[in-house]
Amino acid sequence: MAAAAVHWIRTAGTIVQIDPRRFIKVANKFRDKGIVIVHSVSGVISKRHVYTTGIHGIVFFCETTEKLSLTVDFEAKSLYF
């Protein structure tokens, strides 16, 4: 079990949480470079929107209660970080 956890950590890379305004700026800056934006909605009582993208091997994500004004490439059932 511990070996599987270590393997997962090594393959996960760097994950950075940023605020929604910064996520929009980063996404717009790198959109023409071919980044992919993934969106998911989670929560039963209070809904939260989670957005993620990968740039130069770093995964950026943000969480917000309101939908962002971004073009989303994929809708995911759930995202785990």
Q: How many folded domains does the chain comprise?
A: 1
Residue 5 lies in a domain: no
Residue 8 lies in a domain: no
Q: What is the dihedral of CA 8, 76, 73, 36, to 10 degrees?
A: -10
Residue 71 lies in a domain: yes
Residue 52 lies in a domain: yes
Radius of gyration of the chain (CA): 14
Least confident of 7-16, 40-49, 65-74: 7-16
Domain encompassing residue 41? 13-76
Please write the tens of the pLDDT for every residue from 16-64.
Answer: 999 999 999 999 999 999 999 999 998 888 899 999 999 998 999 999 9
What CATH number does the domain containing 41 carry?
Answer: 3.30.720.90
Q: Can you give the pTM of this predicted structure?
A: 0.80
Residue 38 lies in a domain: yes
Residue 6 lies in a domain: no
> 76: which DSSP letter?
E
